[in-house]
């Protein structure tokens, strides 16, 4: 069993994509989030992704986002790159299908490191829980460019039920086509939180203040 992570699973995760949302826009959204109460800001996260960037560009972007998130009291997660997460002092990592194992990630970053996992089926969610993940990003819930057929809100509920049957507790974060218009439906379906690239999800603070 993994140790309790140093941070709690976020309620709202904004995933970076400089191609879709320029850094200036993202930085402004982070600045606006400073108006939220500290407890709410602690449940927000920026997830550094941007695979199109060079190693140098990703590192420099990460430095700027680490400064901004620290100033705002927001979490910073890093996709896949354990080395970059350690250098930046990130709050955790997000692992994809081809990433290292959860166990190896914690061996490198520390036993209390926050680790979320990409999941695309109910079986993936249960498997992530069985290996000690701290959260599952389940996708694509709704239609999203280049992400295939959406699995729908029903998948969130079925995954929640499958976890209950298996005796696991794991926060499910809904991803894929999620925006301000449908985020509430994800929470109602049983998701712990929501994640996205294009929608301004930091403008849904009521989710960040729950529980």
Q: 186 by DSSP, 3-state: which?
A: helix
Distance CA 48, CA 81 (A): 9
Q: Look at phi and psi of residue 177 and say left if phi exceeds 0, alpha if psi is from -120 to 50, else beta.
A: left
Q: What integer pLDDT is reported at residue 5 of this predicted model?
A: 84
**70-82 burial by CB neighbour count: b if 16+ within 10 A, else e?**
eebbbbbbbbbbb
What digits encode the pLDDT tens for the residues 108-153? Answer: 999 999 999 999 999 999 999 999 999 999 999 999 877 789 999 9
Paired tokens of 84: 């970059």
Residue 105, SS3 per DSSP = helix
Q: Taking 80 as the threshold, does the pLDDT of residue 204 lie above it?
A: no
Span 6-59, pLDDT tens digits = 889 999 999 999 999 999 999 999 999 999 999 999 999 999 999 999 999 999
Question: What is the mean predicted confidence (pLDDT) over 89-108?
Answer: 96
The string of pLDDT tens digits covering residues 74-97 is: 999 999 999 999 999 999 999 998
Q: If residue 138 lies in a helix (H) or strand (E), which one and from where to where?
A: strand 135-138
Identify the pLDDT of residue 144.
Answer: 87
Q: Which domains does the chain possess?
A: 12-208 (3.20.20.70)
Query: What percent of the chain clears pLDDT 70, i.e. is strictly above it?
Result: 96
Q: Is the pLDDT of residue 211 over 60?
A: no
The whole-number pLDDT of residue 145 equals 79
**171 conformational bin, left if phi > 0, alpha if psi -120 to 50, beta if neither:** beta
Q: At what angle do helices 55-72 and 23-33 cross, to 10 degrees?
A: 20
Helix H or strand E encompassing 86: helix 82-88
């Amino acid at each position: 069993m993994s140790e309790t992570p140093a941070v709690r699973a976020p309620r709202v995760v904004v995933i970076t994509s400089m191609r879709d949302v320029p850094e200036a826009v993202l930085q402004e959204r982070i600045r606006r989030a400073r108006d939220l109460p500290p407890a709410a800001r602690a449940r927000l996260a920026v997830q550094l992704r941007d695979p199109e960037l060079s190693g140098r560009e990703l590192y420099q972007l990460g430095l700027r986002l680490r400064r901004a998130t620290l100033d705002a009291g927001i979490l910073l997660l890093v996709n896949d790159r354990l080395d970059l997460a350690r250098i930046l002092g990130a709050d955790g990592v997000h692992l994809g299908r081809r990433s290292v194992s959860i166990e190896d990630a914690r061996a490198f970053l520390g036993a209390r490191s926050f680790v979320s996992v990409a999941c695309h089926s109910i079986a993936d969610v249960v498997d992530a829980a069985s290996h000690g993940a701290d959260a599952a990003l389940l996708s694509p819930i709704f239609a999203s460019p280049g992400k295939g057929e959406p699995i729908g809100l029903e998948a969130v509920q079925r995954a929640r039920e499958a976890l209950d049957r298996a005796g696991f507790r794991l926060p499910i974060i809904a991803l894929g086509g999620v925006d301000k218009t449908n985020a509430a439906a994800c929470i109602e379906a049983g998701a712990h939180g929501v994640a996205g690239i294009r929608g301004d999800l930091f403008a849904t603070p009521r989710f960040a203040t729950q529980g």
